Amino acid sequence: MGFLDIKNATKSYGAVKVLYETDISVEEGEFLVLVGPSGCGKSTLLNMIAGLEDVTSGDIAIKGRSMIGVKPAERNIAMVFQSYALYPNMTVRGNISFGMEMHGIAKPERERKIDEVAELLQIQPLLDRKPGQLSGGQRQRVAMGRALTRDPDVFLFDEPLSNLDAKLRVDMRTEIKKLHQKLGTTIVYVTHDQIEALTLSTRIAVMYGGYVQQLGTPKEVYDNPANMFVAGFMGSPSMNLFPARVTNHDGTIAAEVRLSDGTQARLPFVSGTMAAHEGREIVLGIRPEAITDRDGADRNSSAIHIVEAPVELTEPAGSDTFVATNMGGKDITARFRADVQVKAGDRFPFAINMEKAVAFDPKTEARIA
Amino acid sequence: MATAPTSEVITPATGTPAPPGRSALRTHLPRVVLYIILALFCIYYLLPLYVMVVNSLKPLSEITSGGMMSLPSDWTIEPWGSAWSTAQVGVEATGLRPYFLNSLMMVVPAVAITTILGALNGYVLTKWSFRGSTLIFGLLLFGCFIPFQMVLIPMARMLGLMGLAGSVSGLIFVHLVYGIGFSTLYFRNYYAAFPTELVRAAQIDGAGFFTIFRRILLPSSGPIAVVCIIWLFTNIWNDFLFGASFSDFDSQPMTVALNNLVQSSTGVKEYNVHFAGAIMAALPTLLVYIVAGRYFVRGLMAGSVKG
Amino acid sequence: MSHADTPRRSRSVDWLRDALPKLVLSPSIVLVAIFVYGFIAFTVYLSFTDSRILPSFGWVGWQNYTNLFRIRAWDTAVTNLAIFGVLYISICCLLGLLLAILLDQKIRAEGFIRTVYLYPMALSFIVTGIAWKWFLDPGIGLEAVVQGWGWESFRFDWIKDSDMAIYTIVIAAVWQTSGFVMAMFLAGLRGIDGEMLKAAQIDGASTFALYRRIVIPQLRPAFMSAFVVLAHMAIKSYDLVIALTNGGPGTATEVPATFMYSYTFTRNQMGIGASSAVIMLMTIAAIIVPYLWSELREKK
């Protein structure tokens, strides 16, 4: 039994099921990120943990105690909202103090807590201002400060960075991570931004269509996506997914891929398990950084295969150059070093790291190797 | 200045500078005509007010001799004094003063109670909505559009049963019942735009139903409360039908008394006194309009255009 | 252990907490249920009875309705309402639209002009009625004044003329409400996307074409709202008629609202009065219910 247990929980609105049976067990001090496109059920699940929405069936327990029927205020949780939800008519001090006041904490104790949190988040100069006078980043801090005073068992974040501009978002991301390392609280964090998920979490639950598609560490989710949805959703640019056929040439099991000029390329698998799929059509998944120019290839990999293919487009992006080609009828993005001389129309050798390749069943979309 | 909803919007009229070579007259003519038209309409709308004011300040003889449009040659405030305290209204020569006070005693509690109920209803209907709450709102709202002739007969009997017949309290009650729909409408539409996340945050902070209302929503409700109060005040103050149907001689509101004053067929028609009385009846609502015109307009609009 | 199936509202405190919002709403619901819908039902019932000076419960079926349509005064009232309604709504809309467009030309002192156009809306219909009653009175008002200026043959005695008196009600009502319609249209005009207007100008549209082809069609929602508000005010109009003409001369300006009142309370024909009220309700409901329906459905 974990610190926060989601046991077989579901949510329906009338006949519409928005969350299917979900089991997640979160250990104390973990940073769990629920990530997925809008409408995947991630915010619903978070609201269920908060007690803002009922659980249709199943259970949610914190520290072994079932939370069914327990009011949000009595769950010992804190929540940071997307819009920050600062009370516009109260000062920053009033906002931070309100929750403690509702819980009957005496004034001196409240003052002490406010000072402590204000110092931690460096918002002392803002304490007597109204939320309307604060910038986005400052509001964000106040919202976290309000949550921090509660010493919650579980910290809930609902897309807290989505209203900030790009630069501030990166700064605040770092700050949330530092805060987690410093305080060691258990956090459940909802976002649709897969980079936030990868950078912040100790574990990720990738959600789609009301199901948890995969639950794992950032590395597991990134390197070994459970299915084509996770493969496509996590990572930017997203993983190249293209059709291939499993062949056996003198005992070498390989993926045979058709290039845009009609030639076939053969990419030998590292894993032996693919032999079982000989003759089948599969979807091959290779991340852009595993398709490089020859000199940019991973020197530690023993499975670099060179494929000559026509270059269709180049996109210099400063530190890298993304090069587009076509495999199996799909557009493929490769990540080249910035100074590689390549232009559209060239036939160019692509170095493919097959250690990083994954294969999916085209029908079930589940991973097979 | 009184009414100034922000108008920072591009309008189709662009003040394109005139191409060189055209005469100044030709360029300016359309705008001159435009202003003349607008000014004529100003006269049209102000004329009745002008007539009321100037004729309330002159002796009766100046009116009956065909001088309605001219300024008083012999200024007097006597018609005002008469209308306020000595004119014959119905059977007694009390002037309009007692009825003005009746209206005040009626309008203040009716507006206060209706506004509070509306605020609570709007809060429930938006932040604690339940299955069927839109239907309930629709039914509440329809209640303010019915022709009140539909309720005159049973209401007269019901007020009798409740012991409120012919009293100011009875009128307060009637206005309260038929005002709820609008006050609920105002607060519902306003609270619908109020971020629900704030309510959720307060729930997590441990605030209950009334605490959330009092500490979170109410402090932000100033603008809509003003709109709602102005609307109710204007409507209830200006009401005639309920006042005429449900009041006795000593509980009549201003509008009814004024009408009695003007329609009374006995004696000489004191037009100057009538005009003075009419201005008295109009003054409270006019004052509200001039002081808080922006809110008044918003109230009118919200009462017709939902959302 | 799973709580999935255990009832959650076991404790009375919890029950109270969950029921509180509905409890708060309930006084209003009860009041409206009794005093709006209960009373509607009661009046509908009365319209099928032989009630005279007091409610009575002898069932007479449709007789009040058949009688109602045989009464000359009701016929006059309905005709008057039709004349008044059509003129009032169309003049208010046209005038309101015209004034809104004129005011939308970057007018200096727009705030002041708007205040002037709109202030009649703050007045009671009784006040409006009295002001216009004496202003239109041929003995002392406009006619007397113009004659006093030397135009001896000038005549303007509509208010005393059975055939024309209803039009004086239109004049006063338009004066009272047209500014409000202007405000509605002005809000509609201000809500139109400025970039679209720029685009149309670049497309070469003249000011006239701009309004006719692009702006006015987009005011459809404002027209809808104005129509509903004006129609509903027209059907309910009572105060203005009472103050301006008191239904006269004779019964020349009787409208359904005054008809209902006089038949119920002064002529002691409560059954007939109730049936006329029911017909008014039906007419208003036919306009309001679809409007409310569409407004509230969009909001879901």
Tokens (6 digits) for B172: 């307060």
H or E segment at A325?
A: strand A320-327
Tens digit of each residue's pLDDT (9 = 90 or more) over C18-55: 788 889 999 999 999 999 999 999 999 888 888 888 77
Domain boundaries, chain B: 24-86, 97-304
Residues A92 and A129: their CA atoms lie apart, in Å, by 6
This model of the complex carries an ipTM of 0.85
CB B82 within 8 A of CB B60: no
Q: Rounded mean pLDDT of chain C?
A: 84
Which chain C residues touch B147 with a CB distance below 8 Å? 235-236, 257, 277, 280-281, 284
Q: Is C28 on the interface with A (CB under 8 A)?
A: no
Say how many residues make up chain C. Answer: 300
CB contact under 8 A, C3 and A59: yes
Residue numbers in chain B where pLDDT is lower than 70: 1-26, 265-266, 302-307
Count Cβ atoms below 10 Å from residue A316 Cβ, excluding itself.
13
- CA dist B121 and B125 (Å) reads 6
User: Taking CB atoms and an 8 Å limit, are A58 and C4 in contact across chains?
Assistant: yes
At B208 the pLDDT is: 87
Q: How far is A147 from chain C (nearest CA, A)?
A: 25
Compute the count of residue pairs across chains A and B with CB atoms less than 8 Å apart. Answer: 58
Could you tell me if residue A163 is inside a domain? yes
Candidate CATH numbers 3.40.50.620, 2.60.40.10, 3.30.70.930, 1.10.3720.10; the one for domain B97-304? 1.10.3720.10
Encode pLDDT of C208-224 as tens digits: 778 888 888 888 888 88
Give C118's contacts in chain B (Cβ within 8 Å).
Answer: 3, 289, 293, 297
pLDDT values of chain A reduced to their tens digit, one per residue, 369 residues: 679 999 999 999 888 899 999 999 999 999 999 999 988 999 999 999 998 888 999 999 999 999 988 888 888 898 898 888 888 888 999 999 988 888 888 999 999 999 998 988 888 999 999 988 998 889 988 998 888 888 889 999 999 888 888 888 888 899 899 989 988 899 999 999 999 999 999 999 999 999 999 999 999 999 999 999 999 999 888 899 999 999 988 888 888 898 888 888 888 888 778 888 888 899 999 999 999 988 888 888 888 888 888 898 999 988 889 999 988 888 999 999 988 888 888 888 999 999 889 999 999 999 987
Q: Residue A186: inside a domain, yes or no? A: yes
Q: At what angle do helices C165-190 and C220-236 cross, to 10 degrees?
A: 150
Distance CA A202, CA A189 (A): 11
Domain boundary pick from A233, A260, A276: A233
Asked if residue B221 lies in contact with residue B295, where contact means CB atoms within 8 angstroms, the answer is no
The residue among A181, A204, A233 that closes a domain is A233
* Same domain, yes or no: A275 and A227: no
Asked if B290 lies within 8 A of C115 by C-beta distance, the reply is yes
Segment C3-12, tens digit of pLDDT: 444 444 446 6
Read off the tokens for C300.
Answer: 């879901």
The answer to whether residues A347 and A204 belong to one domain is no
Tell me, yes or no, whether A367 lies in a domain.
Answer: no
Q: Answer yes or no: do A251 and A137 share one domain.
A: no
Q: Are B11 and C106 in contact (CB under 8 A)?
A: yes
> Residues near B131 by Cβ (< 8 Å), separated by ≥ 6?
none
Say if the Cβ atoms of B205 and A102 lie within 8 Å: yes
Nearest to A269, CA basis, from A246, A288, A237, A290: A246
- A46 and A181 together in one domain: yes
* Bridge partners (DSSP) listed for residue A157: A80, A189
CA-to-CA dists, residue B213 to B128, B191, C24, angstroms: 11, 11, 12
Provide the CATH number for the domain formed by C67-298 in this structure: 1.10.3720.10
| 3-state SS assignment for residue C14 | helix
SS3 B162: coil
Q: Which of C267, C244, C18, C46 is nearest to C132 (CA)?
A: C244
Residue A366 lies in a domain: no
Q: Which residue has the tokens 């129509």?
A: C227
Q: A4 near A152, Cβ under 8 Å?
A: no
Backbone angles phi, psi at B109, to 5 degrees: -65, -40
Catalogue the long-range contacts made by A69-76 (C-beta closer than 8 Å, 24 or more residues apart). Answer: A69/C3, A69/C8, A69/C14, A71/B203, A71/C17, A72/B200, A72/B203, A72/B204, A73/A102, A73/A103, A73/B203, A73/B204, A73/B205, A73/B206, A73/B207, A74/B206, A75/A50, A75/A51, A75/A153, A75/A154, A76/A150, A76/A152, A76/A153, A76/A154
pLDDT of residue B9: 38
Structure tokens at C72: 């000359």
On whether both A111 and A260 belong to a single domain, the answer is no
Residue A214 in domain: yes
Contact C3 A66 (CB under 8 A): yes
Chain B: nearest CA to A354, how far in angstroms? 48
Q: What is the DSSP letter of C37?
A: I
Please choose, from the candidates A167, A165, A170, A145, the residue with its C-alpha nearest in 3D space to the C-alpha of residue A155: A145
Is the CB of C110 less than 8 angstroms away from the CB of B7? yes
Across the interface, of C1, C14, C17, the residue whose CB is closest to A66 is C1
DSSP string, C79-98: HHHHHHHHHHHHHHHHHHHH
Task: From chain B, pick out residues whose CB is under 8 angstroms from the CB of C274.
Answer: 153
Which residues 123-162 of B have a C-beta within 8 angstroms of C? 123-125, 128, 130, 134, 136-143, 145-155, 157-158
Encoded amino acid at A62, one letter = I
Report the gap between the CA of C77 and the closest CA in chain B (Å). 15
Number of domains in chain A: 2
Same domain, A225 and A328: no
| Gap between the Cα atoms of A208 and A191, Å rounded | 13
Q: Could you tell me if A328 and A347 lie in one domain? A: yes
Q: Tell me which residue has tokens 């769950």.
A: A75
**pLDDT exceeds 70 at position C292:** yes
Q: How far is B218 from chain A (nearest CA, A)?
A: 9
Distance CA B149, CA C181 (A): 26
Among C278, C275, C279, CA closest to C63: C275
With CA atoms as reference, report the closest residue to C106 among C181, C179, C186, C182.
C186
Q: Check B147 against C24: CB less than 8 A apart.
A: no
Specify the pLDDT at position A317.
87
What are the CB-based long-range contacts (under 8 Å, 24+) for C286-289?
Answer: C287/C228, C287/C231, C287/C232, C288/B142, C288/B145, C288/C228, C288/C232, C289/B142
Contact B106, B172 (CB under 8 A): yes
β pairing state of A281-286 and A291-292:
unpaired
CB burial of residue B121 (10 Å; 0-12, 13-18, 19+):
buried
**Residue A328 resides in a domain:** yes
The CATH number linked to A120 is 3.40.50.300
**Chain C contact set for B1 (CB, 8 A):** 111-112
Whether residues B258 and C190 touch (CB distance < 8 A) is answered with: no
Question: Nearest C-alpha of chain B: how many angstroms from C219?
Answer: 13
pLDDT at C298 over 70: no
Question: Do A318 and A301 contact (CB within 8 A), yes or no?
Answer: no
CB pairs under 8 A between B and C: 305
For the beta carbon of residue C186, count every other beta carbon within 10 angstroms. 25
Does A74 map to a domain? yes
Q: How far apart are CA A253 and CA C18, in angstroms?
A: 64
Residue whose C-alpha is closest to residue A293's, from A275, A307, A277:
A307
What residue has token string 């799929």? A277
Q: Do C2 and A69 touch (CB under 8 A)?
A: no
**Nearest CB partner across the interface for C126, out of B44, B155, B240:** B240
CB contact under 8 A, A59 and C14: no
For A106, the token pair is: 């005496």
Q: Which has more pLDDT, C179 or C209?
A: C179
Where are chain C's structural domains? 67-298
Q: Do A69 and C8 touch (CB under 8 A)?
A: yes
Give yes or no for a contact between C93 and C223, defined as CB atoms under 8 angstroms apart. Answer: yes
Which residue is it, tokens 């801090």? A141
- Residue pLDDT, tens place only, C244-280: 888 778 788 889 989 998 888 888 888 888 999 999 9
CA dihedral C36, C39, C44, C49 (to 10 degrees): -170
Could you tell me the strand order of the sheet in which A65-66 lies?
A16-26, A4-13, A57-62, A65-66
Burial class (CB in 10 A: 0-12, 13-18, 19+), C215: buried
DSSP state of A153: S
Neighbours of B212 (CB within 10 A): 22
Please tell me which of the candidates A51, A72, A85 has its beta carbon nearest to residue B197. A85
Residue A309: which domain range?
240-360
Return d(Cα A123, Cα A143) in angstroms, integer: 11
Nearest to A88 by CA among A50, A132, A153: A132
State whether C277 and B300 contact (CB < 8 Å): no
